[in-house]
A = this chain, B = another copy of it.
Amino acid sequence: MAPESGPRRSERSRQAILAATRELIAEVGYGKLSIEGIAARAGVGKQTIYRWWPSKGAVVFDSLLALSQDSAGDIELPDTGDIRTDLKSLLRATVEEFADDDFQAPIRALHTEIMNDPQLATAYREQMDAPVRAAKLRRLRSAQQAGQLAGDADLDLLLDMLYAPLTQRWLLRSGGLDATFADALVDATLRAFAPA
């Protein structure tokens, strides 16, 4: 058999590095994640990592991007016909995800990087967040057409008011985060954008 060719070996190393990054975030947490640790786990040299990625944040981003592309497909949100029911389901699910360490630890790591790297923030917004946000906006527009939201409601503002308080309580640990809070947030947001 011919020896494995260069490009194929490269891709295998790349995948090993991304998998090692995800494993180590889950095992040791983001604070203790290092390029050295990733290299050791992936069985490559540090220089191999630095040849492909400029920073720890960039490796973390790519390791999560691969995951989100696997799972994204064509995102469609629940649509029972009642926007209040659907938003409460969505926000309660988000609250549960934030309570699940396997789920939230890597996203917290990514957000830490985003806060201190404007380029990564743009990449996150365009590549990871945009498809999810577009699906949410589609669901809100259909509620608007059904007369469940004001015809002139600013749906971008609505989404921010709905999700930012959840994200803040999760990221900054600034308050309790449970189903009751999620429901109250949905009810208040729907009051703000109720049809006339």
Contacts and interface: CB of A to CB of B under 8 A. Distances in A.
Interface of A: 29-31, 108, 111-112, 114-116, 118, 121-122, 125, 129, 154, 156-158, 160-161, 164-165, 167-169, 171-175, 181, 184-185, 188-189, 191-194
A158 B161 CA distance: 10
B164 A168 contact: yes
Contact of A173 (B118, B168, B191): B118
24 contacts: A31-B116, A111-B172, A112-B116, A115-B115, A115-B171, A121-B173, A154-B188, A156-B175, A157-B184, A157-B188, A158-B188, A160-B165, A160-B169, A161-B161, A164-B165, A164-B167, A167-B172, A168-B168, A188-B192, A188-B193, A191-B191, A191-B192, A191-B194, A192-B192
| Chain copies in the assembled complex | 2
Nearest to A173: B121
B115 A111 contact: yes
A190 to B, nearest CB: 8
Given A118-B173, A154-B188, 4 more contacts: A158-B188, A161-B161, A164-B165, A188-B192
Given A160-B168, A161-B165, A191-B191, A173 B114 contact: yes
Nearest to A193: B188
A189 B185 CA distance: 11
Contacts of A158: 188
Contacts of A156: 175
B160 A189 contact: no
Given A31-B116, A108-B116, A167-B168, A175 B160 contact: yes
B108 A174 contact: no
